[in-house]
Structure formats: C-alpha cells, structure tokens
Structure 1
Amino acid sequence: MTTLNWGIMGLGNIAGSFATYFDQPDGQVYGAASRSLEKATAFTTKYGIPHAYGSYAEMLADPAIDIIYIATPHNFHFEGIMASLNAGKHVFSEKAITMNRHELAAAKALAAEKNLVLAEAMTIYHMPLFDEIEAQQKARQLGALKSIQVAFGSYKELDPTNRFFNPALAGGAMLDIGVYALAFARRMLTAKPELIATQWVPAESGVDQQSTLLLNNAHDEMVTVTLNLHAKMPKQGVLVYENGYVTVNDYPRPDQATLTLPDGQTETIQAGDATNAMNYEVHDFQETVRGHQPNHTLELTSDVMDIMTDARAQWGFVYPFEKPEDLK
C-alpha cells in the first residue's frame, strides 16, 4: 500500500503533539513548514521529520505531499485550507475549521470541485466510546435520547494580548472551547439542532468570555451548552435517555463513561484508548482519502459551524477581519 505523506502547516504546540503521537503504518509526517526556514528546521529536527520548508508555498509545491495538516491559529485556517486545496492537497484542519459558515461553504465547494478530502481534526467524531454508548443504548433499552447537558470551562488570564482574548487573533470561548462542546452534542444527536436561544458576556477586549446556548432538533432532543473562558468547569457531557443517563467526563478524548440507571445503580462503559485519540481521527481521514469510507464528519462540522455562526450573529459579535454579512 502506498504511504500517504503529510505536511504540517503551522508549528505551534498542537503541531508538536501531532508529530509526537502520529503513528500510522500507511502514513508518515513527511515535512513541516514555517515562514522561517530556521524555525521549520528546528521543528523537523526535534521530531525526526525528513523535510523542512521555509514557506508554506514551498511545501505546497512539493508533489510528494498528499495531505496538509493545518495547525495555524484558527483565524488563518481558511487561507491555509484554500491554498492547500488549490495546490491539489487533501486538508485536515485543526478546529475550529474556519471562522464562520461563509468560509466553510467556500472551502467545501473548492474541495468538491478539486475532488479532494476536507475534514476537521475533531477527536470526538472518532472516539470508539461514542459508538459503544449508542450500542449500549439499544442493548440496554435505554430508550430515546431526550436531552444533553454539556459544559466546558477553562481558566485563562484576562489578558487582551494573548490569543484567548485578542479579537485580532480570533479570541473568545466559542471558537476555542465551544467547538468541542457543540461537537459532542452534535455527535450524539440524531438530527441537526437549531439554536433556540443564547446569551453571552463579553470580555473587556470584546470577545466572548462566557455564554450559554439552548438547542433543539426535529426529534425534540434538547441541548444546553455552558461555556466560560475565565472559570474552570468540568469538561462533562450528560446524555439523558428515557431509562437512564450517561455521564462522559473529559469528553474531547474519552475512553469510559458512567451509565446511571433509574434505580440509581451505575455501570462503566468502556471503549478505545484516550491516549490514541489523535490516531483514530488520522486513521479515519486516511481511509477517506483512500476511498475506503465516506467523509461522514464534514456534515457534523458544518452543523456545528452553523450554530457557532448563528450564536455570534445573535450577539452581534463580528471579528475585526470579518464582515457582518459573513455571519448570515
């Protein structure tokens, strides 16, 4: 089987994690690019990657590279995605995949035109535990999903110069941590949800510091989402069924959950390995590139992006590099 060669665009902390944990028998991290050859060389030397590029354009021009992993700050994702697709490369982008639905629609259209695979690097869509929870729902006759409660709180200093609170760097809770909470909800819902109501508290810098969202779908599966970028909260999701509920802690990369039955008895549901989370998503992406499975997660990503865009539209929160019409 032909080895798929990956190139990394953007060399921050998440790129280092990707290079560290990448373990695919039919794929390899072939190269990494920065706007500085010195930085790219230091990165490739550290992680044992064979090729360094002093510009993104140089990497995209290399015919040996099949897939671009985009690990730049998310306000630069769209630029990197479009350049990569135009260069004939499949694209695996960190989350949030784009800033808004307008950008995502353009990226999806170009990927379809070029017959290339575009997907978001969202571990939640690939963790085996979620398939096992759905299997247990049927086997244990838990009944229909009624509601989901999901929270994510991360304590970050209220410093307007860092990426978390800087509008020029696309700061704010929604695109940084909200994408995880909404991806968890969307992964477990049986139909696309709509935003029913939302409220937010902006930071002094103008980005969203705290928010709540209420969602519902055609099957009356209701979702409450709570986000905070200046207060620690558990990364916890609760799936409420007719005949019990399932609690998933650390839901971005979980390998176990707790089922609580109506009589109060609890059981543990286990599947997969949290330490291998990144490789689950990389494996699935490669299988899609090879034509062995459909690109089933892009629809989920699109649904999440619609909700995030709708929420910011209701808040009236537009980044300085966006136009108001981008949120329509």
Structure 2
Amino acid sequence: MKTFNWATLGCGVIANQLAQALQAQGRNLYSVANRTHEKAIEFAKKYNIEKVYDSIDEVFEDEKVDIIYISTPHNTHIQYLRKALKAKKHVLCEKSITLNDKELEEAIQLAKENDVILAEAMTIYHMPIYRELKNKACQLGDLKMIQTNFGSYKEYNMNNRFFNPNLAGGALLDIGVYSLSLMRYFMSSCPDQILSQVKMAPSGVDEQVGILLTNPDGQMATITLTLHAKQPKRAMLAYDKGYIEIYEYPRGQKATITYTEDNHQEIIECGSTDKALQYEVLDMEDAILNGKESMHLDYSKDVMKIMSDLRRSWNFKYPEEKENGI
C-alpha cells in the first residue's frame, strides 16, 4: 500500500493533532510550512519532521509532497488552495473550507482540472459513530426534525480569531459549520427554505445566530449558535419511531436512541473522540487510492452555499469579499 507524504501548512492546534494522528499510525509528517519560520522549526523538532520550508510557496513546489493539510485562518484558504491544486497536490483543508460559495466553486473546478482530491476536514463526515447512526436510522422510519446547539464563551478580544473580521471570525464559519454539516449528513436533500436571526458582535461579526431550515422532503432543522454564552454541543434527530441524542457532536463517540413505542433506550458507542484526525487521514488516503466519495465534498458545497446565502441576507461581508466585490 502506498505511503503518502503529508505536509502541514500552519502549525497551530489542528496541525499538532494531525502530527499526533500520523504518529499514532507509526508515521511522521513529511514537512511543515508556516508564515513564521521559527515556529515551523520548533514544530518540526517536536514531531521529528524531515522538511521545513524557508517560505510557504516551497511546499507547493516540493515534488515529494502528496497531500497538504491547510490549517491557516479561513480567509487565507483560497489563496493556498489555488496554489496547491494548481501544483497537483491533494488537499485536506480545515473547516470552513473557504469564505464563501464562490471561492469553493473555484477550488472545486481547479481540483477537477488537475485531477486531485479536495476535501474539507469536517469531523462529522468521518467519526465512526455517524456511519453507525445512519445505518441505525433505517430502523427508525422517516426523519422529521433535527435540532442542534453549539455555544462557546469567548472574550471580546480582537487578538484572537473568534471576533476579528480580519481573521474571518464569527459564529457561522467557526461553529455553525459543524451544525450545518451534521444536518446535511442526515437530511435526504439540501434545505431550500431558510430563515434566520442574527446578533452582531461589537466587532461586526455574527456573535449569535438562530436558523430554521426545511428541505423539499419536508424535513426540518433548527440550529442555535453563540460565541458569547455557553450551551451544550447537543444534537437531536427525531424520526417516526424514535429519536437520537448526541452530545459533543463535533467529535461524537456516543449516542442514545429512545424508541417511541415503549420509551426504551439503546446506547450506541463507536469510535473515539481522541482519534478524530486519524479517521480524517485514513478516509482522505482511501479517497485518493480508490476514488471514493467518502470525503463528502458535495455536502461541504451545500453547507457553504447555505452559509454564504445567510450572510448575504444579513448584508455581512468580510474585508476580502468587499475588496473583491463578492
């Protein structure tokens, strides 16, 4: 079986998890690129990485690199995606994969033209619990309603990315993408009716959001998000014959099914939260080797269109979008 050379563009929290995921499989990252060269050197020493680039562009030119993991801020993704895909590198890009649907359409076209795999690093699509629940759902009848919550308390601090428009901050791109991805994974089709309410933070990004969605099959979803108040990361899927509850759903490993007829419960445990990046790595490599659609770029495309349409309805654009007339 082919061994792939992985490069990380960025060396923050997710890059550390990627390096650890590969080491858990008896491998190391091949190379690291980062805006701050000194941080890249420290990162390489920490994880016994063979190659450190003097400039970011060198990662795209390195013929030994098979897959690039991009984990820089959202608003930098498209510039690196363009270079990586044109250099015929497979790319796994941290969520949210781009700022908007126009950028994603461009990236998808580049991936097709260069015959490489492009995917979003969305844990929902790769945690084993969700594949198991999708199989179980066949016994529960028709899906009627999905409810998801995600709340995190972040200080109004412009030095971090959460509330900074110059770093593509805001609830939708940072945490809403998880809720919408879970919704899309279980819904039979993409929602075509969407209503929302939004509260903007003092910095001008979306701080708190409520979304109601309905698809052509009559399945509905409600999503509540906040970056300035804690609430549980809880998902509930209601079917004819029962409902499923999942806590800590972005990297879920346990769910409870309550059956409508007699109220008895079934506990489903599958996979491990700690192995989230390992599952993404293995699925990505499998997609490259076998041409499988296991990375669900089609779902990422639907979710990005929903998020872009929501922000348009709020008249909320990031600086790059204003500059580019998007």
Same fold (TM over 0.5): yes
d(CA) in 1 for partners of 2:183 and 2:319?
Answer: 29
2-structure distance, mates of 1:260, 1:326: 49
RMSD: 1.7
SS in 1 for 2:237: strand
> Shift of the alpha carbon at 1:190?
1.2
Shift of 1:68: 0.5
SS of 1:225's equivalent in the other structure is strand
Q: Are positions 1:286 and 2:247 aligned together? A: no
Once residues 75 and 323 of structure 2 are traced to their aligned partners in structure 1, the CA distance between those partners, rounded to angstroms, is 16
Contact 1:167-1:206 within 8 A present in 2 as well: yes
For 1:244, the equivalent position in structure 2 comes to 242
For residues 225 and 192 of structure 2, what CA distance do their matches in structure 1 show? 18
* Residue number in structure 1 paired with 2:69: 69
Residues of 2 paired with 1:24 and 1:111: CA distance? 29
Q: CA deviation at 1:229?
A: 0.4
User: Given that residues 78 and 98 in structure 1 are in contact (C-alpha distance below 8 angstroms), is that contact kept between their aligned partners in structure 2?
Assistant: yes
Unmatched 5+ stretches in structure 2: none
Aligned residue for 1:233?
A: 231
**Distance in 1 separating the partners of 2:21 and 2:128:** 18
Deviation per CA, 1:91-116: give whole Å up to 9, x if none: 10000000000000000001100011
Alpha-carbon deviations, 1:106-148, whole Å to 9, x = none? 000011000111000011101111121122222xx31100010
1:198 alignment partner in structure 2? 196
Partner of 1:55: 55
SS of the residue aligned with 2:251?
Answer: coil
SS at match of 1:201: strand
Deviates more, 1:267-276 or 1:282-291: 267-276
CA distance in 1, matches of 2:59, 2:114: 19
1:174 and 2:172 matched: yes
1:80-119 residue pairs with structure 2 within 5 A?
80-119=80-119
Is the 1:5–1:66 contact (alpha carbons within 8 Å) kept by the matching residues of 2? yes
Q: In the aligned structure 2, how far is the partner of 1:156 from the partner of 1:319?
A: 20
How does the TM-score come out when normalised to structure 2?
0.95
Give unpaired runs (5+ residues) of structure 1.
Answer: none
Contact preservation (8 Å) 1:189, 1:221 = yes
Q: Is the 8 A contact 2:22 2:278 kept in 1?
A: yes
Deviation of 1:21 after TM superposition, in Å, equals 2.1
Output one character per residue of 1:46-100: Cα deviation in whole Å (capped at 9) or x when no partner: 1111111121111221110011100101110111111111112111000000000
Q: 1:26 & 1:284 partners in 2: Cα distance?
A: 17
Q: Runs in 1 of length 4+ with deviation above 3 angstroms?
A: 23-28, 323-327
Cα separation, 2, equivalents of 1:295 and 1:242: 28
Conserved 8 A contact 1:153-1:234 = yes
Matched, 1:253 2:251: yes
For 1:122 and 1:6, locate their aligned partners in 2 and report how far apart those are by CA, in whole Å: 18
* TM-score (structure 1 length as normaliser): 0.95
> SS where residue 69 of structure 1 aligns?
strand
Q: For residues 167-226 of structure 1, what are the alpha-carbon distances to aligned partners after superposition, in whole Å with 9 as ceiling and x for unaligned?
A: 111111001101111111111111111242011000111000001111111111100010
Q: Please state whether the residue corresponding to 1:318 is helix, strand or coil.
A: coil
Note closer, same or farther for the CA distance 1:324–1:150 as it changes in structure 2 (3 Å cut). farther
3-state DSSP of counterpart to 2:172: helix
Alignment of 1:1-328 (within 5 A): 1-23=1-23, 28-138=28-138, 141-262=139-260, 263-294=262-293, 296-323=295-322
Give the share of equivalent positions with the same residue, in percent.
Answer: 46
Distance 2:68 2:106 in 1: 18
SS in 1 for 2:157: coil
Once residues 16 and 219 of structure 1 are traced to their aligned partners in structure 2, the CA distance between those partners, rounded to angstroms, is: 41
CA drift at 1:162? 2.2
Provide Cα deviations, 1:231-270, integer angstroms capped at 9, x if missing partner. 0111110000011100011111111100112233222012
Q: CA deviation at 1:294?
A: 2.8
The CA distance in 1 between the partners of 2:311 and 2:273, in whole Å, is 32
C-alpha separation in 1, matches of 2:21 and 2:140: 36
SS in structure 2 of the partner of residue 80 of structure 1: helix
Counterparts in 2 of 1:131 and 1:295: CA distance versus 1, 3 Å: closer
Q: What is the CA-CA distance between 1:25 and the residue it aligns to?
A: 5.4
Does the 8 Å CA contact 1:195/1:311 hold for their aligned counterparts? no
Q: CA separation of 1:22/1:117 partners in 2, compared to 1, >3 Å: closer, same or farther?
A: same
